[in-house]
């Protein structure tokens, strides 16, 4: 499973997962992905075969529903629970949780997973 961490996620999470041998990039590492619409970012990640990891629950749930309603499949959405993994304060735990998810693989086509 290849991941993209959205703009709200720390670059260090991607760096630590790559150091463990996983294919993970952060929006903050790729200038061409910064400040683009969520719908455009999601579409680009489908071309790359990446699962989007985000704190932005509402927008990405809507995007997932749009894909489902139109019969399109996608490579997955991982919603990060802000109470369990507060932004900037839980890097180690977030890395461990994402690594477990990567190791398990995609649970089903067009999945949405809540990382709590």
pLDDT at 85: 81
* Apex 86 CA angle, 80 and 88, nearest 5: 110
* Total count of domains within the chain: 1
What is the structure's pLDDT at 18?
98
Domain extent, residue 25, equals: 2-115
Look-up: residue for tokens 């369990």? 84
The predicted pLDDT at position 84 comes to 85
Task: Say if residues 52 and 79 touch (Cβ distance below 8 Å).
Answer: no
| Per-residue pLDDT at 91 | 87
**pTM strictly above 0.75:** yes
The pLDDT, as a whole number, for residue 21 is 97
pLDDT in tens, 21-79: 999 999 999 999 999 999 999 999 999 999 999 999 999 999 999 999 999 999 999 99
CA torsion sign for 89, 91, 94, 96 is negative
Out of 11-15, 86-90, 102-106, pick the least confident: 86-90
Say what the pLDDT of residue 116 is: 75
Q: What is the CATH number of the domain that holds 24?
A: 3.40.50
Compute the distance between CA of residue 115 and CA of residue 81 in angstroms, rounded to an integer: 6
Please check whether residue 64 is in contact with residue 18, taking contact to mean a CB–CB distance below 8 angstroms: no
């Amino acid at each position: 499973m290849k991941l993209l961490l959205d703009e709200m996620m720390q670059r260090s999470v991607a760096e630590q997962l790559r150091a463990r041998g996983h294919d993970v990039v952060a929006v903050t590492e790729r200038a061409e992905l910064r400040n683009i619409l969520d719908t455009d970012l999601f579409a680009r990640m489908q071309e790359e075969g990446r699962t989007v990891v985000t704190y932005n629950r509402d927008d990405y749930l809507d995007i997932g529903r749009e894909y489902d309603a139109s019969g399109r499949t996608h490579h997955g959405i991982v919603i990060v629970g802000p109470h369990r993994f507060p932004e900037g304060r839980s890097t180690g735990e977030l890395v461990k949780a994402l690594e477990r998810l990567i190791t398990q693989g995609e649970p089903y086509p067009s999945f949405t997973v809540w990382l709590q």
